[in-house]
């Protein structure tokens, strides 16, 4: 996995108490609990976009899309603490909290997306969405992108090629590479002819996938797309192409599921949801990570006919889903996004960071271009021989060097050759300056 601690190498530069914590962790959590960095970071508290170690060292968090309204956000804390003085029972009783939040959430969607079911994670959301699509269409075939990641249940991991081939992918899955088309050298598709050409090529690839699924007897249940293509290298370009694919999958009898776990809740700046950037007629929208700022919660928003069909075939009840504490946390997140103007902030600051990084790195041989939408940025790292080949090892060195400067980012793409930056939305102008200053420090690593 990208940027992961390798326990076989021992504790490295860790202080003795941290090495001891790592050893205890290893004994209790075993090998199924990956840790970031060859030199892991020990965290005891956070504030805004900053995380702090026990000795008070201040890490700049440029990678957190859970704590979007800031680590230890006081408004979220107060909402949760207040609700815990009241009650935190499941939704089989009538309660105000789940209804109040559901209405607020649905207000952020276009009208056909008029119903919501609550879950506890993005994985549960995508799992439910795929079950709903399968029931509604009567088909099983699923199409995703080449290095897609959609979660960790048995079903969604089987439609996530980013896990590799150690466990079998679903037989009814076709994955479509999109990164070769969407990794445009200057990060944009400003030329309308280039954009139109890219969109047509992508639609043709998805239509070929639908034909394969029809021919194999699976039919087409859904296209499931992360709306920022986070694990494919961060691919915001050619805005609108997902809308074209939505039309195509509808023609093929399937649904478009917009996975907004990464791109939702104002992250991409231009619109509150990524699929709206693409003007896509999504049938189901899934969400998770940022929704509760760390309190586990997720949701599936859907056109009501899809839910009606599902309910005719089975029942659905999620014990923790929609619980009042999660709903109050989620409501406080919406409050903060609105109060602090975080959608516009994400757009403006994202643009500024991208432009500054471009200026800083444009003359370096390893810089392969930057792509971004709002506060979600991907930077390709190339070999320094002018071949244009991606260089995952160089990307890993840059990530590690930034960590030693206490700036936390990570990698993306199947080979880990893209840098991924995705800070809390409360990332400030001075946070951006610190990030850029650290990047200037490590600029020699760009060759």
In the region spanning residues 270 to 309, those forming contacts with its own copies, defined by CB under 8 A, are: 288-289, 293-297, 304, 307-308
Q: Which residue stretch of 146-154, 223-231, 351-359, 415-423 sits at the interface with its own copies (rule: CB under 8 A)?
A: 146-154
Among 49, 109, 123, 133, binds its own copies (CB under 8 A): 123
Identity of the residue, 306 or 382, whose beta carbon is nearer to its own copies in the bound complex: 306
Residue 92 interacts with its own copies (CB under 8 A): yes or no: yes
Identity of the residue, 325 or 334, whose beta carbon is nearer to its own copies in the bound complex: 325
Residue 164 interacts with its own copies (CB under 8 A): yes or no: yes
- Going by the DSSP 8-state scheme, the letter that residue 48 receives in this structure is B
Among 60, 128, 349, 398, binds its own copies (CB under 8 A): 128
Among 194, 212, 318, 447, binds its own copies (CB under 8 A): 318
Residue 400 interacts with its own copies (CB under 8 A): yes or no: no
CA geometry: angle at 379 spanning 397 and 42, to 5°?
50
Among 16, 56, 166, 444, binds its own copies (CB under 8 A): 166
Identity of the residue, 81 or 393, whose beta carbon is nearer to its own copies in the bound complex: 81
Identity of the residue, 184 or 403, whose beta carbon is nearer to its own copies in the bound complex: 403
CB of 113 to its own copies, least distance (A): 12
Residue 316 interacts with its own copies (CB under 8 A): yes or no: yes
Q: Is 55 exposed, middle or buried (0-12, 13-18, 19+ CB in 10 A)?
A: exposed
Chain centroid to CA 24: how far?
30
In 3D space, the residue among 65, 77, 120, 67 whose CA is nearest the CA of residue 297 turns out to be 120
Q: Are 302 and 43 in contact (CB under 8 A)?
A: no
- Helix (H) / strand (E) element for 211: namely helix 192-215
Residue 397 interacts with its own copies (CB under 8 A): yes or no: no
Q: Are 378 and 235 in contact (CB under 8 A)?
A: yes
Angle between helices 324-339 and 342-361 (to 10 degrees): 60
In 3D space, the residue among 236, 255, 237 whose CA is nearest the CA of residue 196 turns out to be 237
Residue 45 interacts with its own copies (CB under 8 A): yes or no: yes
Q: For the segment 58-87, give every residue that binds its own copies (CB under 8 A).
A: 64, 66-67, 71-72, 76-77, 80-81, 84-87
Residue 173 interacts with its own copies (CB under 8 A): yes or no: no
- Going by the DSSP 8-state scheme, the letter that residue 191 receives in this structure is S
CB of 420 to its own copies, least distance (A): 13
Determine the Cα–Cα distance for residues 379 and 396; give it in Å rounded to an integer. 12
Helix (H, G, I), strand (E, B) or coil at 292: helix
Spatial neighbors of 208 by CB under 8 A, at least 6 apart, are none
Residue 8 interacts with its own copies (CB under 8 A): yes or no: no
Residue 98 interacts with its own copies (CB under 8 A): yes or no: yes
Spatial neighbors of 27 by CB under 8 A, at least 6 apart, are none
Residue 437 interacts with its own copies (CB under 8 A): yes or no: no
Residue 416 interacts with its own copies (CB under 8 A): yes or no: no
Q: For the segment 326-355, give every residue that binds its own copies (CB under 8 A).
A: 326
Identity of the residue, 349 or 408, whose beta carbon is nearer to its own copies in the bound complex: 408
Cα dihedral 9, 13, 15, 17, rounded to 10, equals -20
Residue 358 interacts with its own copies (CB under 8 A): yes or no: no
Neighbours of 370 (CB within 10 A): 23
Among 130, 238, 266, 354, binds its own copies (CB under 8 A): 130
Q: Which residue stretch of 44-52, 243-251, 357-365, 394-402 sits at the interface with its own copies (rule: CB under 8 A)?
A: 44-52
Residue 95 interacts with its own copies (CB under 8 A): yes or no: yes
Residue 88 interacts with its own copies (CB under 8 A): yes or no: yes
Residue 44 interacts with its own copies (CB under 8 A): yes or no: yes
Q: Are 266 and 346 in contact (CB under 8 A)?
A: yes
**Count of residues binding its own copies (CB under 8 A)?**
99
How far is CA 186 from each of CA 182, 228, 285, rounded to the nearest angstrom?
11, 17, 30
CB of 234 to its own copies, least distance (A): 18
Residue 428 interacts with its own copies (CB under 8 A): yes or no: no
Identity of the residue, 127 or 281, whose beta carbon is nearer to its own copies in the bound complex: 127
Determine the Cα–Cα distance for residues 439 and 403; give it in Å rounded to an integer. 11
Residue 110 interacts with its own copies (CB under 8 A): yes or no: no
CB of 214 to its own copies, least distance (A): 21
Chain centroid to CA 115: how far?
22
Q: Are 325 and 284 in contact (CB under 8 A)?
A: no
Residue 212 interacts with its own copies (CB under 8 A): yes or no: no
Q: For the segment 14-43, give every residue that binds its own copies (CB under 8 A).
A: 18, 21-22, 24-25, 27-36, 40-43
Q: Are 178 and 202 in contact (CB under 8 A)?
A: yes
Determine the Cα–Cα distance for residues 357 and 437; give it in Å rounded to an integer. 10
């Amino acid at each position: 996995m990208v940027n992961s601690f390798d326990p076989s190498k021992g504790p490295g530069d860790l202080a003795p108490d941290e090495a001891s914590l790592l050893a205890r962790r290893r004994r209790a959590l075993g090998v199924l609990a990956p840790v970031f960095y060859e030199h892991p970071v020990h965290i005891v508290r956070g504030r805004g976009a900053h995380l702090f170690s026990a000795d008070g060292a201040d890490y700049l968090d440029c990678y957190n899309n859970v704590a979007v309204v800031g680590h230890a956000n006081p408004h979220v804390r107060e909402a949760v603490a207040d609700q815990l003085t009241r009650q935190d029972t499941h939704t089989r009783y009538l309660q105000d909290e789940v209804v109040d939040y559901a209405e607020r959430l649905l207000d952020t969607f276009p009208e056909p997306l008029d119903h919501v079911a609550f879950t506890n994670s993005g994985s549960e959301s995508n799992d439910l969405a795929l079950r709903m699509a399968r029931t509604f269409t009567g088909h099983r075939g699923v199409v995703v992108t080449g290095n897609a990641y959609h979660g960790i249940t048995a079903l969604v991991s089987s439609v996530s090629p980013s896990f590799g081939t150690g466990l079998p992918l679903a037989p009814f899955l076709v994955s479509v590479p999109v990164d070769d088309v969407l990794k445009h050298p200057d990060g944009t598709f400003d030329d309308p002819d280039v954009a139109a050409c890219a969109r047509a090529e992508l639609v043709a690839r998805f239509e070929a996938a639908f034909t394969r699924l029809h021919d194999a007897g699976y039919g087409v249940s859904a296209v499931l797309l992360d709306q920022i293509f986070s694990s494919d290298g961060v691919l915001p370009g050619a805005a609108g192409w997902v809308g074209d694919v939505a039309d195509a999958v509808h023609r093929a009898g399937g649904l478009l599921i917009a996975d907004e776990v990464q791109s939702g809740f104002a992250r991409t700046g231009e619109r509150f949801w990524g699929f709206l950037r693409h003007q896509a007629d999504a049938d189901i929208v899934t969400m998770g990570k940022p929704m509760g700022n760390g309190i586990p919660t997720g949701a599936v928003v859907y056109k009501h006919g899809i839910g009606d069909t599902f309910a005719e075939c089975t029942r659905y009840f999620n014990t923790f889903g929609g619980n009042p504490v999660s709903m109050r946390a989620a409501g406080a997140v919406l409050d903060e996004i609105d109060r602090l103007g975080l959608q516009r902030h994400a757009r403006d600051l994202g643009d500024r960071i991208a432009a500054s990084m471009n200026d800083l790195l444009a003359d370096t041989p390893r810089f392969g271009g930057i792509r971004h939408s709002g506060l979600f940025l991907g930077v390709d790292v190339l070999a320094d021989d002018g071949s244009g080949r991606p260089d995952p090892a160089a990307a890993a060195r840059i990530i590690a060097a930034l960590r030693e400067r206490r700036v936390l980012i990570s990698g993306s793409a199947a080979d880990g050759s893209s840098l991924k930056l995705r800070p809390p939305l409360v990332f400030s102008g001075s946070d951006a300056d610190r990030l850029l200053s650290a990047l200037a420090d490590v600029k020699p690593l760009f060759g």
